[in-house]
Amino acid sequence: MSDNLVVVLTALNLEYQAVRERLRSPEPYLHARGTRFEIGTLPGGHGRMVLGLTGKGNQPSAVLAERAIQEFSPIALFFVGVAGALWDKPPLGDVVVATHVYAYHGGTSEDDGLKARPRVWEAAHEIGQTAAHLARTGEWARHTPTERQQPQAHLGAIAAGEIVQNSRISREAEWIRQIYNDALAIEMEGAGVAQAGHLSGSPVAIVRGISDRADGTKATEADRTWQPVAAANAAAFALDLAAELIRQEETPTMRKGTTPDDSGSVTNTAHGNVGVQAGHVSGSTFHVSFTSSEQGPAGLADELASLREELARERSAGRIDEDTHDAASAELDIVTKGIEEGTPAGKKSSVLALKRLRGLLGDVATLTAKVAPLITAVGGLS
């Protein structure tokens, strides 16, 4: 089975169960600090998922998201559950996938009112592209009961605050709808998870089913009816998204740098010490050629030193911020230590650190182009 996995966190037991009942053979995993996770296989048997419960709020969600990222080094971290719609659309039961998350409680109080100072995190490009593809096809909703209207998926902004929003006429409700007028949904955990993902270099997907309209109808019979429906729909989309991301991670013809030419052959170009430089398909045979270059620890040490230097240059040029630079440097320290150990455990820790590093540097193409072949090279060490 693939080593690639996705972590899914939820705030409520209802949301947790909606995901869990779709996993194959979930087994408990106890973190050293007492957090209980479950690890199961995705439907279809391709890829694994780690499931955890955070409780309500951005702060606990951020802490446990960071814990899960460090423990499992997932290819992506999801937060899945229900949310309120800020407008008449999307319809109840539909799914919203965050293109970006607003931490809307940031602000300054002035004599003439509250001035917004939000923090915003954008979804990773690959997650946005894959989610848009799934939304277009609608295949994720294939298990919807026939008596229920088939849900749709929407991509848009989500607002995440610190309190339950259940009004359209309160002062804060009017302020939110005026200042964050492009937000489709509102909830209480997405900002914490997005911040944890940003600091840890893990792509984040926030997937929410619409269970109410944040308009005073929470805790009514209608809300109790729609919550399990919305949670089930969010879980269905999230599992298909997880499976697709894992498939893209593992399929060479879907990875970066792979382009078909006019003859139908495939050219796959990598940069670095080790990698497939070119290939073509003839019938059912894939022909490749390899570079011959130094692949041992000494050569990797040189590559890591070069990467550190380029990282420092990007920081000096202002293309990455100080937090990202420090986090990336810490991952490089882990890589170096693991290679020096020369053990299977050291190699594994180095590969996982490089994967986290790739996520951290996702917005700087010149750096991520150097990380990908390093993952292959370190994984090939004996």
Average pLDDT of span 11-18: 98
> What is the dotted CATH code of the domain comprising 5-250?
3.40.50.1580
pLDDT reported for residue 264: 45
116 CA to centre of own chain: 27
Q: Whole-number mean pLDDT of the chain?
A: 85
Kindly report, residue by residue over 154-199, the tens digit of the pLDDT. Answer: 999 999 999 898 888 888 889 889 999 999 999 999 999 999 999 9
For the ranges 49-53, 108-112, 195-199, the lowest mean pLDDT is seen at 108-112
At 209, the pLDDT band (50, 70, 90 cuts) reads very high
pLDDT reported for residue 29: 96
Three-state secondary structure call for residue 292: coil
Is it the case that residue 261 has pLDDT exceeding 70?
no
pLDDT reported for residue 252: 55
pLDDT reported for residue 359: 79
Q: How far is CA 214 from CA 82, 164, 169, 191, in A?
A: 12, 8, 10, 18
Nearest to residue 183, comparing CAs of 205, 144, 141, 154?
A: 154
Is it the case that residue 282 has pLDDT exceeding 70?
no
At 272, the pLDDT band (50, 70, 90 cuts) reads very low
User: pTM score > 0.85 for this model?
Assistant: no
The percent of residues above 90 in pLDDT, for the chain, comes to 50
Nearby residues of 4 by Cβ (< 8 Å), 6 or more positions away: 47, 48, 75, 246, 249, 250
Distance CA 327, CA 197 (A): 12
pLDDT reported for residue 269: 44
pLDDT reported for residue 255: 55
At 278, the pLDDT band (50, 70, 90 cuts) reads very low
At 58, the pLDDT band (50, 70, 90 cuts) reads very high
Residue indicated by tokens 């089975």: 1
- Of the CA atoms within 13 Å of residue 17, those in its CB half-sphere come to 6
pLDDT reported for residue 260: 46
Is it the case that residue 211 has pLDDT exceeding 90?
yes
Is it the case that residue 281 has pLDDT exceeding 80?
no
- Give me the residues paired with residue 77 across strands: 7, 204
pLDDT reported for residue 109: 83
Distance CA 368, CA 362 (A): 6
Distance CA 287, CA 268 (A): 11
Average pLDDT of span 328-336: 91
Dihedral of CA 281/366/241/65: which sign? positive
Is it the case that residue 2 has pLDDT exceeding 50?
no
The single-letter code of the amino acid at 292 is: S
Is it the case that residue 227 has pLDDT exceeding 50?
yes
User: Taking phi first (over 0 means left), then psi (-120 to 50 degrees means alpha), and beta for anything else, what does residue 14 get?
Assistant: alpha
For the ranges 38-42, 195-199, 358-362, the lowest mean pLDDT is seen at 358-362
Kindly report, residue by residue over 111-136, the tens digit of the pLDDT. Answer: 887 888 888 999 999 999 999 999 99
Is it the case that residue 294 has pLDDT exceeding 50?
no
189 vs 319, more confident: 189
